Structure 1
Amino acid sequence: MHLLPYSLALSCLLSLAHDHALAAPSPSSSPLPRSIPLLRRSRPHRNSTELSEWLRNQKEYLEAKYTNNPQRKRASGMNLITNQNADSSFYGSIAVGTPAISYNVILDTGSSDLWLAASDGVSTNDDGIPTFDSSASSTFTDLNTSFSISYGSGAARGTLGKDVVQFAGFEVDSQVFGVVTQVSENLLNSPVSGLMGLGFSSIAASGATPFWQALAENDGTLDSPLMAFQLTRFNDVNGAQDLEPGGTFNLGAVNTSLFTGDIDYQDIPDGQEGYWIQELSGLTVNGASVSVGSGSAAYAAIDTGTTLVGGPEDVISDLYAQIPGSQALTGQNAGYWTYPCDTTVNVTLRFGSSSVSWPVSNADFLLEQASRDTCVGAFFALSTSGTSAPPWIVGDTFLKNVYSVFRASPASVGFAQLSDTALKMNGALGAAPSPTVGAVAATISGSSANAGTDRSSSANGATPGAVLGSTLGMWVVALVSGLVGGSMLLV
């Protein structure tokens, strides 16, 4: 079999755009879980050159994100999940400042910093990116501290500040975040204004406590110190609009209507609380087992800001060896594989000591059709050798198939089987909710380990899928809607 012609080969490759509508219920006497309906954006169509370049950027971006991100001393707290570019991309909206203004941000469990494009540096009159104007907020404080985040395909730079931030019905009144005045070309695409990292503070370039962690560490604010995602699938639906209902994000409790059975929690390995790490303990392809090793050689970051699944070259090669007719791509797309489109591929993953194997459906394994008969697979080889990065990055290709829960105490990740209610949302076209800003159920003061000191923060690759086309196999074309305050509780 030949390599598919690049003109067709990668013209559809990754079209994953998910969005969330953040909904904040009205205040109540006791903390309530908050739900955020997620939105999805339809896949972009690329010619062969664009697709080839896109594939290369996704691989380089993910490698840069994980291989150059220094991990600080462990801080108490947990990393909450964010879905980014699974089927297209997922992002949510937050409200910032006084008066509160909503912004769409990539929700990313693979990083820990919040940043927004600034009105005095990033945007132009015609790019359509909403920007943050610090002078318009009466509660903004400039911390006079430089801030820098680098990606494989670019960088964002600016300064740190703090202000009131609302998200999913909760508020942190002094959240530290980056106000970005310089962004590499194509790092942001309308309508996304920035990124919210949902990892642990130990990997925050700013040294700030992430929004979720500030809430989780404040006793009594959340019913339970966790976040959960249910993501929809539209990558196999013709006629999908730019924005479609993308699922539900919950903060403080799980949504029992979206899963069945028990949530299978597996603790994060000791000392690994930076990313949401799980040990991959089993992998099958159409029923055939593929050896993945054990211990740190099989560590996987569960990353909502990543579209695809990346793993060690030898294991990925063995995986495709179980698919007749598969072939490795070369050149700038080395690390990706093609296989006959008429082949049904069903992959399962198992984590930790669990006896449960979780599926990756054929619809999600098929990343893009490259030619009439040849398709590109959503698992690819990731180079992290010689670094402290985990060898596996498990993104939305997998997460669309499960209900995912990220729990702070004990630090763990849990998966459960999607309910019929959740499954019926796949491919169900509908209107995207509109961002709203409203009352919040609980307000706390934020904190930061290093904010306010005169130093330069830099985290190479610390920001996963927050930038359009910058995160592993996914376009950060996240479209968020339904900001804090609405009543878009999806049940």
Structure 2
Amino acid sequence: MLLPSTPLSVALALSLSWPVFAAPQVKSSAGQVMSLKRRSPSDRTIEEWGVWAKNHKAGLEAKYGAGQPQKRSTGTNLITNQNSDSSYFGSLAIGTPAVSFDVILDTGSADLWVAGSTCQTGCENVPTFDPTASTSFQNQSTTFSITYGSGQASGALAKDVVQMAGFSVTNQVFAVCDQISSGLLSNPVSGLLGLGFQTIASSKATPLWQTLVSNGAWTDPVMAFYLTRYINQSNADSLEFGGSFTMGFTNTSLYTGEIDYISLPTTGSYWILPLSTLTVQGTQVSLPSGSASYAAIDTGTTLVGGPSQYIAEIFAQIPGSAPGTGNFQSYYTYPCSTSVSVQLSFGGKNWSISPQDFQLSQLTKELCLGAFFELSTGGSAPSWIVGDTFLKNVYSVFRYNPASVGFAQLSDFALANSGSTTESVPSATIGSAATSVSATGRSPTRSTSDTISDIKVSRTSLVSIAFFWTIMAIAGLLI
């Protein structure tokens, strides 16, 4: 999760590879879909894992401060999974004519920014946005800067048409960055899309998602994630099918049973829930109540971070575990022979974290690194940051009104696609938007076109498009 003037989540700190383009935007009675893509990491040495772990902790601490419409619609964007669950990104399109860009999807921040064509540092081999190529571009002549634990991005604010998953927003404020810290971006990712509330936006602008939902563009005031798992899978590629991000509806083919919604104890900033119980190896860890229990549900963060005393209690339930040293300080190691069972509850049902996800990495033949680590946040930031280590195990829903986050059990269909190396990485196309709204508050309108236009893909992308339609049909999303 990336917040205003906060660190870019681990997602961006990790290396990103392969270009991925905006998801197909198609009109459907059920809605459009945005696929996520996932990238797997190359093998790391213990030293490399140590550097990664240290940067991940520093990044989160910096990020959290050590702040009557016409017919509505739905949309889906297929996701890419990067580096074996290190990060998940989707795609959107900017400008006229529209050009697609891959962006980290982050419920822990609220700004949209991309690298610009005049970028001077930190954007080598990264697709960049050229303002002069868009006839609808409006320079706001306002400086922008955002700081993450792993670096900083700065530039200027602008307005333009932004499209995503079949939706189009005119006059959307975003930042075009020309100074980016080295390593913050890596091909194919060009920036970040914040999915938090406006109050935490460094730009002070209304986020893309909030413009859509507040204008009544969505059938239901929800957005949802299904994330795939490839962690510690040796045959995984750097980019894999990552799941889906939906706007305006929940995909019933991806979960079973009811969605367990928990109201936000505080609204208008992060997607926060109270962490009420935490159970490890059958033993419940004693947790505080009130604001000390608050946890940010953060799609832009890889792991789970929390106060040192409770992280220590978690690993105290695992025989043979030990605190890390050096770059692994604030992390814990444990015997790889131990299958660790962890359950979290936010005031409703108990949700299990797979032992696969608890094991961040196997450092030696016998020693493994845990995915929970000690984290110190500051100010009004929540004490816990719950990232993809947990979110891969559930179908997660972020509801605007009433403000809440919900979880549901993944369906057999969803589980079958997780970890499958036969699934194609989604490729994006740019199509005509089915629903359009203005960031200035104009009522949403429907376009008269329901065809996909301006398709710009390589020959290899055609395979992914065929897969996209196959998945849509199976999932019952084809319209």
**Fold agreement, TM-score > 0.5:** yes
CA distance in 1, matches of 2:464, 2:383: 35
Matched, 1:178 2:175: yes
Residues 194-213 of structure 1 mapped to structure 2, 5 A cutoff: 194-213=191-210
User: Cα–Cα, structure 1 residues 447 and 18, in superposed 2: closer, same or farther, change >3 Å?
Assistant: farther
CA distance in 2, matches of 1:416, 1:46: 34
Matched, 1:56 2:48: no
Instruction: Note the C-alpha offset of 1:249.
Output: 1.3
- Tell me which residue corresponds to 2:232: 236
Q: Scaled by the length of structure 2, what TM-score is found? A: 0.84
Instruction: Note the C-alpha offset of 1:49.
Output: 3.1
Instruction: Note the C-alpha offset of 1:333.
Output: 2.4
CA distance in 2, matches of 1:257, 1:18: 29
Cα offsets for 1:324-343 (capped at 9, x unmatched): 00000123321100000000
- Tell me which residue corresponds to 2:342: 347
Instruction: Note the C-alpha offset of 1:26.
Output: 3.2
Matched, 1:314 2:309: yes
Instruction: Note the C-alpha offset of 1:52.
Output: 1.7
Contact 1:267 1:413 in 2 (8 A): yes
CA distance in 1, matches of 2:398, 2:234: 32
Q: Scaled by the length of structure 1, what TM-score is found? A: 0.82
Matched, 1:395 2:390: no
Contact 1:365 1:377 in 2 (8 A): yes
197, 222, 227: which one aligns with 2:223: 227
CA distance in 2, matches of 1:83, 1:436: 14
Contact 1:139 1:163 in 2 (8 A): yes
Instruction: Note the C-alpha offset of 1:83.
Output: 9.3
SS in 1 for 2:432: coil
- Tell me which residue corresponds to 1:461: none
Residues 69-468 of structure 1 mapped to structure 2, 5 A cutoff: 71=67, 87-122=85-120, 127-219=124-216, 221-270=217-266, 272-352=267-347, 354=348, 356-384=349-377, 387-429=379-421, 430-447=423-440
Instruction: Note the C-alpha offset of 1:27.
Output: 3.8
User: Cα–Cα, structure 1 residues 124 and 206, in superposed 2: closer, same or farther, change >3 Å?
Assistant: closer
User: Cα–Cα, structure 1 residues 83 and 434, in superposed 2: closer, same or farther, change >3 Å?
Assistant: closer
Instruction: Note the C-alpha offset of 1:154.
Output: 1.2
Contact 1:268 1:413 in 2 (8 A): yes
CA distance in 2, matches of 1:19, 1:67: 32
CA distance in 2, matches of 1:442, 1:306: 30
Contact 2:16 2:187 in 1 (8 A): no
Cα offsets for 1:363-394 (capped at 9, x unmatched): 0000001111000000001012x521100000
Instruction: Note the C-alpha offset of 1:22.
Output: 5.3
Gaps of 5+ in 2: 1-13, 68-75, 442-462
Cα offsets for 1:254-300 (capped at 9, x unmatched): 00011000000001013x42010000001001111001111111100
CA distance in 2, matches of 1:149, 1:137: 25
SS in 1 for 2:175: strand
Instruction: Note the C-alpha offset of 1:153.
Output: 2.1
26, 37, 40: which one aligns with 1:39: 37
CA distance in 2, matches of 1:290, 1:435: 44
Contact 1:326 1:338 in 2 (8 A): yes
- Letter of the 1:58 partner, please give it: H
Instruction: Note the C-alpha offset of 1:441.
Output: 1.1
User: Cα–Cα, structure 1 residues 240 and 19, in superposed 2: closer, same or farther, change >3 Å?
Assistant: farther
Instruction: Note the C-alpha offset of 1:89.
Output: 1.4
- Letter of the 2:232 partner, please give it: D
SS in 2 for 1:359: strand
SS in 2 for 1:256: coil
Gaps of 5+ in 1: 1-13, 72-79, 449-480
Contact 1:59 1:382 in 2 (8 A): yes
- Letter of the 1:136 partner, please give it: A
Contact 1:17 1:40 in 2 (8 A): no
Cα offsets for 1:282-327 (capped at 9, x unmatched): 1001111001111111100000000000011000000000000000
SS in 1 for 2:37: strand
SS in 1 for 2:64: helix
Instruction: Note the C-alpha offset of 1:44.
Output: 2.7
User: Cα–Cα, structure 1 residues 22 and 264, in superposed 2: closer, same or farther, change >3 Å?
Assistant: farther
SS in 1 for 2:63: helix
User: Cα–Cα, structure 1 residues 303 and 440, in superposed 2: closer, same or farther, change >3 Å?
Assistant: same
User: Cα–Cα, structure 1 residues 20 and 131, in superposed 2: closer, same or farther, change >3 Å?
Assistant: closer
CA distance in 2, matches of 1:396, 1:65: 16
Cα offsets for 1:10-65 (capped at 9, x unmatched): xxxx899999875444346x7x5332222211123223333222111110000100
User: Cα–Cα, structure 1 residues 84 and 383, in superposed 2: closer, same or farther, change >3 Å?
Assistant: farther
User: Cα–Cα, structure 1 residues 281 and 55, in superposed 2: closer, same or farther, change >3 Å?
Assistant: same
CA distance in 2, matches of 1:122, 1:420: 47
CA distance in 2, matches of 1:16, 1:380: 23
Cα offsets for 1:55-97 (capped at 9, x unmatched): 11110000100116xx2xxxxxxxx999986813110010000
Q: How many residues align?
A: 426
- Letter of the 2:284 partner, please give it: S
Instruction: Note the C-alpha offset of 1:100.
Output: 0.4
CA distance in 1, matches of 2:397, 2:118: 38
Contact 1:128 1:190 in 2 (8 A): yes
SS in 1 for 2:312: helix
